[in-house]
Copies of this chain bind each other. A is one copy, B any other.
Amino acid sequence: MNDRLSAQMGFLLEADRLKSVLRATTLADGSRVENSGEHSWHLALYAMVLRDQAAPGVNIDRVMRMLILHDLVEIDVGDVPIHSANGAAHGSAEVLAAERAAADRIFGLLPPDLGSEFRALWEEFEAAESPDAVFAKSLDRVQPVMQNLASGGGTWVTYGVTADQLESRVGVKVARGAPTLWAWVQEKTTAWFAAR
């Protein structure tokens, strides 16, 4: 009867599966690992709360939309922890190709106008070049750092991460979109690694 609405609702049903994609990072209290659905919610809240850390001209509503969508491809590909395989797995050509195929399938469930719009937002996020995407990436990278600090080390312990590795894999990217924020966080990570 209503093909457009059926496609929209079908996409929303499929999206539910993101709640079953598990990340390496735990909740702040360390009780269990986080899933990519609740992680995406937390990031949207980060964007609302930390908008004064963004460069002038960043559109926080677009940043939120990107963050709500950014992990949907993990329904097919799973989460690839940033520190896994000594930092080599995340962003590998193989993972990128699989994520692209996932985007074809998942955004392809939507009516074409919405599918194209969401796909473009996801591509923009992945490219990390526009000011909105650079800020969104900063939040995506800083949230697990805060979770690890709260839980007593988290994935830094799991993967034997050094302070230098954290700086090169994460710090540089947080600082690119939110330099003041990274300076604030770095004080805490430096203390954590020094105390090991």
A residues near B, CB below 8 A? 1-2, 4-6, 8-9, 11-13, 15-20, 27-29, 31, 34-35, 37-38, 40-42, 44-46, 48-50, 52-53, 61, 64-65, 68-69, 110, 114, 118, 146-147, 150, 180-181, 184, 187
Contacts and interface: CB of A to CB of B under 8 A. Distances in A.
A125 B42 CA distance: 19
Given A13-B28, A38-B41, A61-B61, A5 B46 contact: no
Name the prevailing secondary structure of the A interface residues: helix
Contacts of A20: 27, 29, 31
Contacts of A5: 53, 180-181, 184
Contact of A50 (B8, B35, B147): B8
Given A19-B38, A38-B35, A38-B37, A146 B44 contact: no
A64 B44 contact: yes
A150 to B, nearest CB: 6
Contacts of A181: 5
Nearest to A110: B49
Contacts of A187: 1
Contacts of A2: 180, 184
- Give the one of A46, A48, A184 with max B CB within 10 A: A48
A68 B46 CA distance: 10
A176 B49 CA distance: 31
Contacts of A8: 49-50
A47 B12 CA distance: 10
10 contacts: A1-B184, A2-B180, A5-B180, A6-B184, A13-B28, A16-B42, A19-B34, A19-B42, A41-B41, A49-B114
